[in-house]
């Protein structure tokens, strides 16, 4: 059997502009939200990613008709759901599939969705999602690896999350928009992708107050109306590209940056000595890598430092003289890129959820393995800087979250190609 890998000949100068695609983590819940109401939807600025393909298959199995209109736009037609069951086969590939539960409950008052199962970056339970549904009057039963939910009527209520889970917040919002009465979500996640989902739902006629805050107030409505919507730019891809711009001494500019969406990340880089100019949505830096100072970063729910930018930040810190520290508080096992970066000459030690990174002059080329999508992109960046040939295996992870990464990098002059390797 063969799988795809990137072969990179690093150590070359690269320069130009990297353009950020639409946000995966906003596109996924917005696609899912079209389950809530019948009609025809047009979604624009949708990234071309493996996760979108996976979700499309799941939504089609439930009865939606999905057509790709052009490179980044889709038509989704909901003529009613043909199935109320999301199977293990389709859910296991991507945890975000569990988001179909809220919309199916909103539409049909009934759903059977496979538990997502384990995941490389931690156990990732769905207890908070279920607690939210139960508060709205849904009777939950877990049977043979499936969550079954049913109710005669969804009734608005107060939902207080112990932790601001992104997925649980989205699932409960989607269940609540057509519930009877008012739902209040306290300690809601505040990630910008949740604002994007809310803005989409509001465009459909949903009544949501407090968007962007930790307290959402959703007044259920009888009917929603399908609409056309353009997905926000991907702030995690933007952050990854900003790391690339610093690793290459400012020779790369990044188009599609909304500073507000990654304020904590950009201010951490400024604390390290980086200076940025943002004109419209294009970010440039004149700061050289050698000017950066070490720092300490702790991942937190938004507006804190995003866990999804932890591995790109660590890759950058590997090249900063002195000792930096990263504490991961969102996911267990999210340091799987550490041994891979160390294979490339990095000097990183970990103790539980803490990583200590001592700067090196440069990475050295090696054969490595992507452990998740962000980690995979980080290894690609390291490979571009290392002299000689680096192979990054298991790039299906990278394809889940970065659109045409190698093609975008080739346009900057990078020597990177997609190859097949036997396993
Ligand atoms: C989303 C993002 C992911 C990002 C993460 C945190 C999508 C598709 N994915 O994932 O890229 O890394 O937010 O910013 O948007 N938890 C529970 N019980 C629950 C739900 C979550 O204990 O019911 C825990 C998880 O195990 C994890 C933490 O809460 O440790 C954060 O999870 P959550 O915010 O739900 O992340 P996701 O929605 O899965």
Averaged over successive runs of 10 residues, the pLDDT of the chain (423 residues) comes to: 95 96 98 98 97 96 97 97 94 93 96 77 78 97 94 98 98 98 98 98 98 98 98 98 98 98 98 98 97 98 98 98 98 92 98 97 97 94 97 95 97 97 85
Cα-flanking dihedrals φ and ψ of residue 308, to 5°?
Answer: -70, -15
261, 398: one domain: yes
Dist. CA 306 → ligand 1 center (Å): 11
Any ligand 1 atom below 6 A from CB of 128: yes
Helical (H) or strand (E) element with 106: helix 101-108
370, 344: one domain: yes
Beta bridge partners of 391: 7, 367
pLDDT at 119: 47
pTM: 0.97
Tell me how crowded residue 3 is: count the other CB atoms within 10 A of its CB: 12
Contact predicate 135/175, CB 8 Å: no
340, 311: one domain: yes
pLDDT at 121: 46
Any ligand 1 atom below 6 A from CB of 31: no
d(CA 259, CA 265): 9
Q: Please report where in the chains the tokens 């990297």 appear, as a residue.
A: 18
* Residue 209 φ/ψ region, left for φ over 0, alpha for ψ in the -120 to 50 degree band, beta for the rest: beta
271, 222: one domain: no
Name the residue of 93, 97, 166 to mutate for ligand 1: max ligand atoms within 8 A of Cβ. 166
pLDDT at 60: 98
Residue 195: HSE in the Cβ half-sphere, 13 Å Cα cutoff: 14
Residue 22 DSSP one-character state: B
pLDDT at 152: 97
pLDDT at 132: 97
pLDDT at 124: 65
pLDDT at 346: 98
58, 9: one domain: no
- In terms of residue numbers, what domain contains 6? 2-21+233-422
302, 383: one domain: yes
d(CA 262, CA 255): 14
Domain tally, the chain: 2
263, 280: one domain: yes
219, 247: one domain: no
Dist. CA 120 → ligand 1 center (Å): 13
192, 306: one domain: no
What CATH number did the domain enclosing 59 receive?
Answer: 3.65.10.10
């Amino acid at each position: 059997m063969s799988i795809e890998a990137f072969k990179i000949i690093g150590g070359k100068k690269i320069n130009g502009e990297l353009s950020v695609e639409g946000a995966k983590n906003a596109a996924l819940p917005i696609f899912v939200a079209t389950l809530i109401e019948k009609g025809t939807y047009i979604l624009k600025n949708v990234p071309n990613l493996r996760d979108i393909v996976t979700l499309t298959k799941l939504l089609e199995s439930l009865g939606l008709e999905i057509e790709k209109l052009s490179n980044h736009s889709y038509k989704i037609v909901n003529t009613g759901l043909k199935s109320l069951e999301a199977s293990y086969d389709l859910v296991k590939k991507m945890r975000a599939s569990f988001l179909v539960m809220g919309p199916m409950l909103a539409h049909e008052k009934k759903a059977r969705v496979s538990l997502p199962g384990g995941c490389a970056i931690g156990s990732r339970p769905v207890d908070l999602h279920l607690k939210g549904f139960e508060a709205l009057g849904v009777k939950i039963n877990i049977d043979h690896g499936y969550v079954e939910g049913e109710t005669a009527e969804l009734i608005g209520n107060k939902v207080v999350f112990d932790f601001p889970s992104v997925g649980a917040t989205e699932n409960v919002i989607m269940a609540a928009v057509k519930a009877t009465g008012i739902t209040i979500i306290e300690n809601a996640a505040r990630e910008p992708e949740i604002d994007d989902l809310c803005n989409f739902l509001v465009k459909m006629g949903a009544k949501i107050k407090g968007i962007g805050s930790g307290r959402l107030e959703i007044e259920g409505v009888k009917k929603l109306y399908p609409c056309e919507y353009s997905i926000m730019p991907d702030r995690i891809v933007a952050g990854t590209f900003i790391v690339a711009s610093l690793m290459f001494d400012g020779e790369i500019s990044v188009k599609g940056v909304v500073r507000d969406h990654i304020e904590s990340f950009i201010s951490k880089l400024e604390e390290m000595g980086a200076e940025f100019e943002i004109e419209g949505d294009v970010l440039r830096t004149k700061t050289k890598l050698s000017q950066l100072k070490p720092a300490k970063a702790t991942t937190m729910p938004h507006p804190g430092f995003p866990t999804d930018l932890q591995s790109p930040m660590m890759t950058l810190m590997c090249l900063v003289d002195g000792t930096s520290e990263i504490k991961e508080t969102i996911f267990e096992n999210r340091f799987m890129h550490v041994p891979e970066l160390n294979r490339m000459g990095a000097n990183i030690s970990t103790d539980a959820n803490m990583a200590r990174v001592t700067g090196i002059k440069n990475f050295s080329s090696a054969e490595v393995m992507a452990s998740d999508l962000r980690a995979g992109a980080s290894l690609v960046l390291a490979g571009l800087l290392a002299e000689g040939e680096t192979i990054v295996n298991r790039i299906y992870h990278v394809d889940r979250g970065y659109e045409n990464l190698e093609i975008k990098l080739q346009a900057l002059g990078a020597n990177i190609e997609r190859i097949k390797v036997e396993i």
